[in-house]
Amino acid sequence: MSPQEIITSPIEIIVNPMGVCGAFEGELLGRVRLFDGNGKELAKGILLRSGPIVFTTTLEFDTRDSAQGLLVLQHQPEGDYIDPPEMLSLEIPIRFKP
């Protein structure tokens, strides 16, 4: 997905975390959240493993009140090598309407 891409409901989110800290051996502790342009949360999902180091979730949402929003991918690494655990986030601006 690229910034400012137009999305519609439902949307399948597919994440390949190769090279992301904490995604070692196909483990990803993460969630996906979708917000409208006013900061209202429209949908959220948990990333589930669906193959070798690929994670997916499907979001359904209603965008009547906004033409743009923000897709947020969050990952909470765990393990002995991380002290204290830090939430990693990736924010992608998106659009619901042209």
Residue 12 has pLDDT above 50, yes or no: yes
- Average per-residue pLDDT in the chain? 77
Q: Which two tokens stand for residue 6?
A: 């137009």
Residue 51's identity, in one-letter code, is G
- Pair 75, 65: CB distance under 8 Å: no
Residue 32 CA to residue 2 CA, distance in Å, equals: 16
The pLDDT score that the predictor gives to residue 10 is 93
The pLDDT score that the predictor gives to residue 1 is 67
Predicted model pTM: 0.72
The pLDDT score that the predictor gives to residue 21 is 47
E strand segments, 1-98: 5-6, 11-15, 30-36, 41-46, 48-51, 54-59, 68-75, 88-95
Residue 85 has pLDDT above 70, yes or no: no
